[in-house]
């Protein structure tokens, strides 16, 4: 039985890694931004699981090793932040002010739009927390009586879209400054976006990491304060 579980673990992990690496190599050769290896891997793995009648719980059980690697990966994002520490110190107040306004506006807009579309408070709460890292997003969802599954899906979508299309969309909008792009991606697409944009330059990675940390903190402060106010206005 133990040998079977080990073999199953290896099959799931190696197959996932193989699919991801194939798309990573393919994107590297084609330079097509929409061929994001994370997105394309999901588009392949999900149909495979459905075809083989494998539940997500079973798949997650055998691939949670990759989830454990997320924590040291997030910590590693602090390295470019440390490298640019002196530059960040000079602009820290401006960054905090900009992110405070952005987080407040984004939370209000997401909450209001979700409430208008679905007319459900729990859905509005869940979708308004899509741009923070998973542990904080789920904790806030539980505190504000949202739906954890909806928040988790929203976080994944925000991260994947930001990682795949964020830098290109910002450039098309005329935002070419490395610091501005880093702040935008870190604020909107949390760890996935930060990890992706770090590969462009250390400037991108440093400011994306800073935005990731501050956005999580500011969202945790603002969301419990803004939620009852928005409910009074919208209801």
Q: What does each C-alpha distance from 208 to 120, 124, 147, 155 come to in angstroms?
A: 32, 26, 27, 16
pLDDT 10s digits, 38-85: 778 888 988 988 888 888 778 877 787 777 776 676 677 667 777 777
Over residues 79-96, the mean pLDDT reads 81
Over residues 138-161, the mean pLDDT reads 86
Q: C-alpha 208: how far from its chain's center?
A: 12
pTM, 2 dp: 0.73
Which range has highest mean pLDDT (11-20, 104-113, 126-135, 209-218)? 104-113
More confidently predicted of 69 and 228: 228
Q: C-alpha 190: how far from its chain's center?
A: 4
């Amino acid at each position: 039985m133990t040998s079977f579980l080990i073999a199953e673990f290896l099959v799931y992990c190696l197959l996932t890694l193989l699919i991801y690496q194939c798309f990573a190599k393919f994107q590297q050769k084609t330079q097509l931004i929409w061929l994001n290896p994370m997105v394309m891997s999901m588009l392949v793995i999900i149909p495979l699981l459905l075809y083989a009648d494998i539940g997500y719980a079973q798949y997650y059980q055998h691939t949670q090793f990759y989830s454990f690697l997320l924590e040291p990966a997030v910590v590693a994002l602090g390295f470019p932040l440390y490298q640019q520490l002196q530059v960040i110190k000079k602009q820290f107040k401006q960054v905090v002010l900009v992110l405070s306004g952005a987080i407040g506006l984004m939370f209000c807009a997401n909450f209001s739009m979700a409430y208008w579309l679905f007319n459900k408070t729990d859905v509005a709460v869940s979708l308004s927390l899509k741009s923070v890292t998973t542990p904080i997003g789920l904790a806030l969802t539980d505190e504000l009586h949202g739906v954890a599954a909806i928040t988790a899906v929203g976080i994944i979508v925000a991260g994947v879209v930001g990682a795949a299309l964020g830098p290109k969309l910002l450039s098309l909008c005329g935002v070419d400054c490395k610091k501005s792009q880093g702040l935008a991606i870190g604020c909107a697409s949390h760890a996935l976006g930060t990890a992706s944009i770090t590969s462009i330059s250390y400037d991108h990675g440093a400011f994306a990491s800073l935005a990731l940390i501050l956005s999580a903190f500011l969202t945790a402060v603002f969301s419990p304060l803004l939620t009852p106010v928005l409910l009074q206005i919208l209801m």
